Amino acid sequence: MVNGGESPGAVAARLTGRPVSGERAGPGGLAEVTLAGGAAVVVKRGDGPGAVRAEAAGLRWLAAARAVPVPEVLGHDERWLVTGLVRTGRPDAGAATRFGRALAALHAAGAPAFGAAPPGGPRDAWIGLAPMRNEPGTDWPHWYAEHRVLPYLREAADRGILRPGEAAVIERVCERLPELAGPPEPPARLHGDLWNGNVLWGADGRVRLIDPAAHGGHRETDLAMLHLFGCPYLDRILAGYQEAAPLTDGWARRIGLHQLFPLLVHAVLFGRNYAEQALATSRNFADM
């Protein structure tokens, strides 16, 4: 039983309509459940209001692009999500190149607007354990500042994680985003939380993505997340991406701009070290 409620096996049986033959606890509060016939699924409990609906909608939206594989959504309610299980293997250079090409195709599938939520997904969504509002906009620099960076900048300042005067450094970068952001690009279909932990190297040689914070955004944002926390064979991923959809000049210099949002989210969740990284990144752009 989980917190006095249903067991993961009972959840899987209810949401898939199939009998269960076994279950075991997995990492991070997940559970692996075996359905009758031998199919294995993952049962996950949502972290907050709307989180399950957002994740399910995001997985389906990413899957609809037919680019990077994601686990199949087998059932969900407001509290629980059941997906297919990914059997993992070792990172591989060839798989990394193929993933880069597939990620470019995912981004090219597009979105109706910057900040657009996946079809059926809530406007008030999540990135990991943090709220993330999907408010549509037409101009990436202004949208990114207003709906991504500034809300978490204000929260970090209100909590005292950023000291007096430090927030102004990041605010100056937000004001200059229109001139720093590079050539305009159409809204891309983003995973939205593309750190290494959400990249699964499948045993079949294909990369799969999990735990999306999917929305319409700038394609460089997903790549900046891969850079922020590192990823095996990142050079091969980028080579595959560039082969399929070359990035515009100066993209590497702009990585830090796209990292401001996740750094400030982490500052609010985990403290001062991430705030200092956001400040250091901002100082690199403030006087450019």
Would you state the torsion angle of the CA atoms of residues 19, 21, 26, 31, taken in this order, to the nearest 10 degrees? 10
Read off the pTM: 0.95
Q: Which two tokens stand for residue 167?
A: 């927030």
240 and 117 assigned to the same domain: yes
d(CA 210, CA 200): 7
Residue pLDDT, tens place only, 156-172:
999 999 998 999 999 99
Q: Judge if 126 and 267 occupy the same domain.
A: yes
Same structural domain, 271 and 156: yes
pLDDT in tens, 232-259: 999 999 999 999 999 999 999 999 999 9
Q: Tell me how far apart the alpha carbons of residues 149 and 140 are, in angstroms, rounded to a whole number.
A: 12
**Are 100 and 237 found together in one domain?**
yes
Residues with Cβ within 8 Å of 165's Cβ and at least 6 positions away in sequence, in order, are: none
The answer to whether residues 76 and 98 belong to one domain is no
The pair phi, psi for residue 73, each rounded to 5°, is -80, 115
CB 220 within 8 A of CB 255: yes
Range 43-71 average pLDDT: 95
Task: Looking at the structure, tell me whether residues 131 and 198 fall in a common domain.
Answer: yes
Helix residue ranges per DSSP H, the chain: 8-16, 51-64, 93-108, 140-144, 150-158, 166-180, 219-229, 234-244, 255-270, 272-286
Give the domain range for residue 282.
93-286
Positive or negative, the CA dihedral 88, 213, 182, 170 is negative
- 68-82 pLDDT per residue, tens: 999 999 999 999 999
Q: Are residue 164 and residue 218 in the same domain, yes or no?
A: yes
Q: What is the CA radius of gyration of the chain?
A: 19
The string of pLDDT tens digits covering residues 88-146 is 999 999 999 999 999 999 999 999 999 999 999 999 999 999 999 999 999 999 999 99
Last residue of a domain, one of 45, 67, 84: 84
The pair phi, psi for residue 125, each rounded to 5°, is -110, -160
Residues 155 and 23 in one domain: no
| Region of poorest pLDDT, from 28-37, 70-79, 98-107, 261-270 | 28-37
Rounded CA-CA distance 152/174 in Å is 13
**How many domains does one find in the chain?**
2
Contact 73, 56 (CB under 8 A): yes
Q: Same structural domain for residues 61 and 97?
A: no
Q: Note whether residue 1 is domain-resident.
A: no
In this structure, are 256 and 192 located in the same domain? yes
